[in-house]
Structure 1
Amino acid sequence: MSDDFPPNSRYRNVSLMKRVAPDGTEEVYGARRIIPAMERYRALDHLRPASNMRIDDVAMDVYGDPEQYWRICDANGDAEPAQATGPEGRLLVIPMPLEVANDGNA
């Protein structure tokens, strides 16, 4: 696990890996982040975002931190944050953090 990422980062619990390039240079990178299955999430609330809302604005409104947008994306199966509030009329699940909903086992 890596403490190299801030506590609100989606990469907080991702391990750092190292590899040696063909020229001998050591490269450090984050391991692949596996998005939890959508059924693991418990809804804290639901929201139909207005057409002009951005996902980071939604995260700010519900979590008090725009950097937590990834929690909403993960719970709704959205790989592309820029499209997470569309299409218009969509009902978004606002999830409890897995650390809470899953007895601390994110």
Structure 2
Amino acid sequence: MSGLSRYAGAEIATTAVADGAGGTREVRYLRRRPLPDPRRLAVLALHPVARGDRMDLVAARHLGDPTAFWLIADANGALDPDALVAPEAEGTLLLIPIPGV
């Protein structure tokens, strides 16, 4: 799964912005990427959040790649992946999706 990017395939757009010297310059940016519908994801596992969990370690354990934590964040509708394993999240279940399905 190495090299899998959260923004692979995201559309690149451009916009003109003020350059601070009275002119404009063109800036490229990635368009917003829609999150997948969790109801349509194939589930690999449910992970009960425990004290001391970290997203990179959860991803490494279930997906074999610590940098794939964003797949878990997306599957759980989280903009802040660390909130999924924060102390107040202990005991909740994280949906671990099957990558690419």
TM-score per shorter chain, which class?
0.7 to 0.9
CA–CA separation in structure 1 for the residues paired with 2:90 and 2:24: 51
* Equivalent in the alignment of 2:57: 57
| One-letter amino acid matched to 2:33 | R
What TM-score does the superposition give when structure 2 sets the normalisation length? 0.82
Larger Rg: 2
What's the Cα RMSD here? 1.7
Residue 52 of structure 2 aligns to a residue whose secondary structure is: coil
Return the offset for 1:69.
Answer: 0.7
Size of the aligned set, in residue pairs, is 94
Question: Greater share of strand residues, 1 or 2?
Answer: 2
Which amino acid in structure 1 is aligned with residue 78 of structure 2? D
Q: Select which of 7, 12, 15 maps to 1:11.
A: 7
Any gaps of 5 or more consecutive residues in structure 2? none
- How many Å separate the matches in 1 of 2:41 and 2:82? 21
- What TM-score, normalized by structure 1, do the two folds share? 0.78
Tell which has more relative contact order, 1 or 2 (C-alpha 8 A, sep 6+).
2
Instruction: Give the corresponding residue for 1:96.
Output: 98
Paired AA for residue 41 in structure 2: Y
Q: How much does 1:32 deviate?
A: 0.7
- CA apart distance, 1:71: 0.8
Q: Which residue of structure 2 lines up, in the alignment, with residue 83 of structure 1?
A: 83
Identity of paired residues, percent? 34
Structure 1 CA distance for aligned equivalents of residues 49 and 43 of structure 2: 16
Measured after TM superposition, the shift of residue 36 of structure 1 is: 1.2
